[in-house]
Amino acid sequence: MEQLMRNTFLFLSKNKSLTKLAKKYGLRFGAGRFVAGETIDQAVKAIQDLNSKNLCVTIDYLGEFIDTEAEANEMADNSIEAIRAIGSQKLDSQLSLKMTSMGLDISDEIVMANMRRILDAAKENGVFVTIDMEDYTRCEKTIQVFKKLREDYDNVGTVIQSYLYRTVSDMEDLNQYKPNLRLVKGAYKESPEVAYPEKKDVDDNFKKIIKMHLLNGNYTAVATHDDAMIEYTKQIVKEHNIPNDQFEFQMLYGIREERQLELVKEGYKMRVYVPYGTDWYGYFMRRLSERPANVAFVLKGIIKK
């Protein structure tokens, strides 16, 4: 039943008609728990609140189904607006973005031009940028874009997903760039031809790449809500005398807030992934797919209205 629910929400996340409908009617039906607002001003308030609790942030202007150069350029403009807000308000925040929202599916020239102007603005404002990883069909292209950008910029990182078979090979290849990587399990529905279908295998690979990246001496962002993975990271760090400034934990906005604060109290850097924007529907559906408790929360909120 849980897998059926997950597959259903992942299917709904790709529905363009529902995405347009969600844009029209705004943040309703519980989405406000996972999305900080529709405007940069609302997002800034959320960041300030999190920073006041000693939580770091990475902000993401949400965008799905970018089909034209004008749309990609507009998405890049919004990312630059967020970067400037971070700089002017002196916020403890980074920026995250998806390559598809920058024009990955349109042309190499468009995505590279948008990424360079974003990274130039980020460099001016002292902001680090993480390129999110999307589904398997875009994995190789995303990594190639990251490699090209890494040659000219030191304020850019990317994401590696433990559920893909290719992950360890990718990590070995990327090590020459001394990359800052966010390590995740992976949130897309993939074929067993390219991804581990069993949770245990995904978890085992996650542990493997956490240890691998830390021991390579690279900055490691362990993005998980799984206590077993958090404790594993703590164990590796302790065993190998890895300094606290070489890694951080990351969690999603609106999920496990008490645990986030506990990690801060324990002396660890804790970064919260804060999405905002009108194009929140796909992101929201993926969050609902991850845990039945998220669905229960939303239903409870609707009943109360």
Q: Write out the catalytic residue numbers.
A: 132, 182
> Which conformational region is residue 119 in: left (phi greater than 0), alpha (psi within -120 to 50 degrees), or beta?
alpha
Classify 220 as helix, strand or coil. Answer: strand
- The amino acid present at 250, given as its one-letter code, is Q
Which distant-in-sequence residues (6+ apart) come within 8 Å of 28 by Cβ?
Answer: none
CA–CA dist 80, 134 (Å, integer): 21
CA quadruple 243, 244, 246, 247: dihedral sign: positive
Which distant-in-sequence residues (6+ apart) come within 8 Å of 268 by Cβ?
Answer: 244, 248, 249
* Contact (CB, 8 A) for 233 and 206: no
CA–CA dist 250, 32 (Å, integer): 20
